[in-house]
Structure 1
């Protein structure tokens, strides 16, 4: 798959709430993930770590009220999307989150992902 095809497939998976399926199908085994400084997992490496990070997030969530993923913007081997979520976290209450997500694709697989968002106060 080329970058546009990977981007479209990722957006499709995310809109269907199938984030773990996206990692399984679209991520390289040695994917590197970057979260903002001060987040619980600033850096994780490898597909298994990406799955574990996502599973940890799901375990913290009581209810997802809504979520939107933009269409991708593609440039060369990179693409970006915005994600907006309205989520209630266990023991923490309801929260709105908006992020910009940037992905790098090589040989038809996502090799890096970088997320930009403000950490809750």
Structure 2
């Protein structure tokens, strides 16, 4: 069954809200998905790398709270505003970001983050 951009956006936001970050990648992202993230250089391509990077982050961070906006849809793109409170090595941090996703063939093929609070 082909997923629409509306169902993909809703599923992604639900998984992120529940802090199921790795599951979101494994379920919704294409094998060749690209991530453009100012916290990590160079850009990362490939689902396995995205999953490994997420697992590494989660092994170092304690997520305290995740807040998400409703998705905004435009063609085969959608965006959400995400803010997260977490701690790393005992230091509390908050980031706010605009997350933009591109969908093709019922999978997310790219994500790009615009982050403040780094």
TM-score normalised to the size of structure 2? 0.92
Which residue matches 1:108? 106
C-alpha separation in 2, matches of 1:119 and 1:84? 10
Counterpart secondary structure, 1:117 = strand
C-alpha separation in 2, matches of 1:86 and 1:98? 9
How many aligned residue pairs are there? 116
> 1:119 Cα deviation (Å)?
5.9
Deviations 1:24-79 (A, max 9, x none): 1100000000001xx23441101001101111211221x22211111100111000
Counterpart secondary structure, 2:116 = coil
Q: Which runs of 4+ in 1 moved over 3 A?
A: none
Give structure 1 stretches of 5+ with no counterpart: none
Of Structure 1 and Structure 2, which has the larger fraction of its residues in strand?
Answer: 2
Q: Which moved more, 1:101-110 or 1:47-56?
A: 47-56
CA contact (8 A) 1:41 1:53 kept: no
Give structure 2 stretches of 5+ with no counterpart: none
TM-score normalised to the size of structure 1? 0.90
> 1:111 Cα deviation (Å)?
0.2
RMSD value, Cα: 1.3
Counterpart secondary structure, 2:40 = coil
The answer on 1:52 being equivalent to 2:39 is no
CA contact (8 A) 2:22 2:54 kept: yes
